[in-house]
Structures are given as C-alpha cells and as structure tokens.
Amino acid sequence: MFARTTRVDLFTLFGLIFLILFVLPVTAAPVPAPPSVAATGHLLIDFDSGYVLAENNAEQRLEPASLTKIMTAYVVMKEIQAGQVTLQDQVLVSKKAWRTPGSRMFIEVGKKIALEDLLKGMIIQSGNDASVALAEHIAGSEETFANLMNDHARRLGMINTHFVNSTGLPDEQHYTTPRDIARVTRATIREFPDIYQWYATKEFTFNNIKQHNRNKLLWRDDAVDGVKTGHTEAAGFCLVASAKKDGMRLISVVMGTSSEDARASESQSLLNYGFRFFETHRLYGAGEKLASTRVWKGSQEQLRLGLTRDLYITIPRGQYQNLNAGMRIEPKIIAPVSSGQPLGKVNIALAGETIVEDDLVALDPIAEGGLLQTAKDTVLLWLE
C-alpha cells in the first residue's frame, strides 16, 4: 500500500515538473527600479524609440555649462548643411573670442583658423574661444548666434531652454533641462553621423598643444562614443553620454553632480541599467506596406497603408514574444487621398497595455475617379 502511494506521488511530481518546464508560460523577471543617481537632474532614453528608461527632474531648468556646445555644434552643422559655411572656411579670430574665459583651445587673435579645427577644438577640447569664434563667423556676433540657437531649440521642441551665449558661461537667462538637451543630442546623432564621430575622439592637438577629451567614459567603456561634459561652479559637473551595444543606442544626461568622477560613474550606472534590463526592436520600416484598404470613388480601388517613419519599441528584456500589434483603419475612405494622409492607427501593446501608437498613412496618392467609377461606388455605398 505504501509503495503504491509513493509511486503515484512520484508520477504527480514528475508531471508537475514537466508542466513547469515545458507547458506553463515562462514569466520574465520584473525590471528593477532604476539606480539612484546623485545628480540634480538626470534622464536615460533609447535613441531610436525615444522611450524613457529612467528620469528625475528631467523638466527642471538647470544651468548647462558646456553642454551648451552640443547646440552650438548643431547650429554650425546646420549651417554647413545649408551651404552657408564649409569646413574649409578660414575664420578670423576676434579679440572677444581670444579673451573668452574658461576652457580654451588656445587660438590667437588676428589669426585665421580652419572652421573644421575650431569645431573639433570645441567638441573635443571644449574650447570657449573656439565657440565664440564660430558664432561670430556664422552670425556676425555671439548674441545673434544665440538667437539661431533658440530658433533651433524651438523647432526641436526644447520648450524649457533658452540660450544667451555659445559657450555655457553662467547667466540667469541661460538654461536647459535634461530632457531638452537629450533632444538636441538625438538630433545631432541622427542628422550628422559623420561629424558626430568627432565626439568619440579622445584627444586633439592644436598649436602644438595636446588636450584630452574630458569625457572619462571614452576610456572606460568601448560602447561609449560621446557626447559632452560641462562644469561651472553653479552648474556642477554635467555629462551627456551616448553608447551603442548590440544595435541598441542609449543617451544619458546627468546634470549637477559633485565631481568629474561622479558624473562619469553616475552616467555609467544609468547606461549599464538600460543595456541590462531593456531591448529595442525595429518593428516596421518607413514606407513599408502594412495593410491595404478599399478606396471609394477613386481612380483605383486599393490603397497601400504604412508609416512615415521607422517604428521602434523599447521593452523589458525577454518580452518580445508577448507583443501584440493591431490596426484601426477608417471604415469608408473616399477619394481624393493624398500621400501621407492619416487614415488609421497602428497600436503596439504589451500585457494588454498600449506602449506605442502611430498614424497609419496613405503611401500613395489616389485621385478622384471618373464619372462611371464615382456613380458605381455611390450606388454601392447606398447599398451598404
């Protein structure tokens, strides 16, 4: 009797083990809370999706110090892109640029310096003198250049940012936020990948003076390829860092830490957290056909629908198989239809909760149909 009971218990036990290992769904481990960061404000986002992985005081207006130069460089790159200046331009160094206090690349008043060298001196050596020289060359004065900076800030959605100079030297009306500085960083990486590579340069020599990049993470982590440090007494020690690992790029912002080592270690902690517990996937490409739908009274009956931009999602690791995609399309679409016209939604959900929703748009234009097609579809619509 005892032996028989034991055998049944063993079979039951083996059955439970089988169910646990092979039948029951495996639940991914929960994502732990982000690390505590000793900074006045910080932010960690995925570059492709824009998903926020960690933040604190991300909307607080703070002095950016030399993080300002991310926007200064961005404006210079936009001017190059527009054909207004070139990397080969010879820039005359003014007394104001030469006398600018703070970090320097040691340009000399009255000399002409290649714009490319000034841009590298600002990005790698954080030269305030280079920043002012570039601003004056592009806009005539640093004050006018600051207006350009603010114009681009508004266009990028940096609603809590205002610049009064190109360097980041202290001023009560010169401020930004962790979220806003991340916006211009994303734009820089996306729009100017060739010049962005300079942010990974560890040292630059000008006028026989070699200076090292102040971003310590460039030496500590091979995945890190930028971006910019900043420091004033009022702003504390700041760092915008970006790293790419296994196709996933993260951007971290820490503002108001206590030391050079602190800004580096806090940034590293954020990046490690993001790469360890999250993953990013490209679900659909821009212009890719996701669905077709009927068009009434048009020159053709079928319309391709898709997205205007690549759709990326950032999710906890191990959750990709639990994603669900859905589409909602307008029930009656009547020509004419213009290319890019929103006609529905793409919805991506995880565990029943929407994580991304984007417009489903017409990929092609469809003109109004002829009289016969219009009359036929009118009758069919009446019968529906």
What tens digit of pLDDT does each residue of 206-262 get?
999 999 999 999 999 999 999 999 999 999 999 999 999 999 999 999 999 999 999
What tens digit of pLDDT does each residue of 11-57 get?
333 343 343 344 444 455 678 999 999 999 999 999 999 999 999 99
Which of 225, 246, 281 delimits the end of a domain? 281
Written as one letter, the residue type at 63 is: E
pLDDT reported for residue 59: 98
Residue 12 located in a structural domain: no
Backbone dihedral angles phi then psi of residue 226, each to the nearest 5 degrees: 165, 180
Give the three-state DSSP class for 30: coil
pLDDT reported for residue 3: 36
Please list the active-site residues. Answer: 66, 69, 126
Distances (CA, A) of 81 to 77, 151, 179, 227: 6, 16, 25, 21
pLDDT reported for residue 15: 43
Q: Tell me what percent of the residues of the chain surpass a pLDDT of 90.
A: 86
What tens digit of pLDDT does each residue of 338-352 get?
999 999 999 999 988
- Domain identity same for 253 and 294: no
Whole-angstrom distance, CA of residue 272 vs CA of residue 270: 5
Residue 158 located in a structural domain: yes
pTM: 0.89
pLDDT reported for residue 378: 83
196 lies in which domain range?
41-200+212-281
Give the three-state DSSP class for 105: coil
Give the three-state DSSP class for 379: helix
Backbone dihedral angles phi then psi of residue 107, each to the nearest 5 degrees: -80, 160
Q: How confident is the model at residue 372 (pLDDT cuts 50, 70, 90)?
A: confident
Angle in degrees, CA 347, 353, 358, rounded to 5: 25
The residue among 133 and 22 whose pLDDT is bigger is 133
Residue 272 located in a structural domain: yes
pLDDT reported for residue 1: 32
pLDDT reported for residue 374: 81
Residue 334 located in a structural domain: yes
Binding site, annotated residues for substrate? 228
User: Burial of 353 by CB count in 10 Å (0-12 exposed, 13-18 middle, 19+ buried)?
Assistant: exposed
Which of 281, 306, 340 delimits the end of a domain? 281
Q: Which two tokens stand for residue 350?
A: 């995880």
- Domain identity same for 157 and 185: yes
pLDDT reported for residue 30: 79
Q: Which two tokens stand for residue 157?
A: 């959605």
- Domain identity same for 266 and 356: no
Does position 275 have pLDDT exceeding 90, yes or no? yes
What is the count of structural domains for the chain?
2
Whole-angstrom distance, CA of residue 25 vs CA of residue 124: 50
Over residues 362-378, the mean pLDDT reads 87
CATH at residue 379: 2.60.410.10
Whole-angstrom distance, CA of residue 333 vs CA of residue 296: 6
Residue 30 located in a structural domain: no
Whole-angstrom distance, CA of residue 269 vs CA of residue 257: 13
Binding site, annotated residues? 228
- Domain identity same for 77 and 168: yes
pLDDT reported for residue 22: 43
Does position 383 have pLDDT exceeding 90, yes or no? no
Please state, rounded to an integer, the average pLDDT across all residues of the chain: 92
Whole-angstrom distance, CA of residue 195 vs CA of residue 180: 21
H or E, element range at 258: none
Q: Tell me what percent of the residues of the chain surpass a pLDDT of 70.
A: 92
Residue 71 located in a structural domain: yes
Which of 223, 246, 281 delimits the end of a domain? 281
pLDDT reported for residue 28: 53
Does position 381 have pLDDT exceeding 80, yes or no? no
- Domain identity same for 83 and 107: yes
Residue burial 71-110, b: 16+ Cβ < 10 Å; e: rest: bbbbbbbbbbeeeebeeebebebbeebbebebbbbebeee
Residue 321 located in a structural domain: yes
Write the CB contacts of 245 (distance below 8 Å, at least 6 apart in sequence).
223, 275
- Domain identity same for 298 and 251: no
DSSP assignment of 281-318, as one string? EEEE-TT---EEEEEESBSSSEEEEE-SS-EEEEEETT
Residue burial 39-52, b: 16+ Cβ < 10 Å; e: rest: bbbbbbbbbbbebe
3-state SS track over 116-146? HHHHHHHHHHCCHHHHHHHHHHHHCCHHHHH
Residue 122 located in a structural domain: yes
Selection from 343, 351, 277, 355 nearest residue 312 by Cα:
355
What tens digit of pLDDT does each residue of 113-132 get?
999 999 999 999 999 999 99
Over residues 298-307, the mean pLDDT reads 94
Q: Count of alpha carbons within 13 Å of 52, Cβ hemisphere only? A: 14
pLDDT reported for residue 4: 35
CATH at residue 269: 3.40.710.10
Whole-angstrom distance, CA of residue 114 vs CA of residue 86: 9
pLDDT reported for residue 252: 98
What tens digit of pLDDT does each residue of 150-195 get?
999 999 999 999 999 999 999 999 999 999 999 999 999 999 999 9
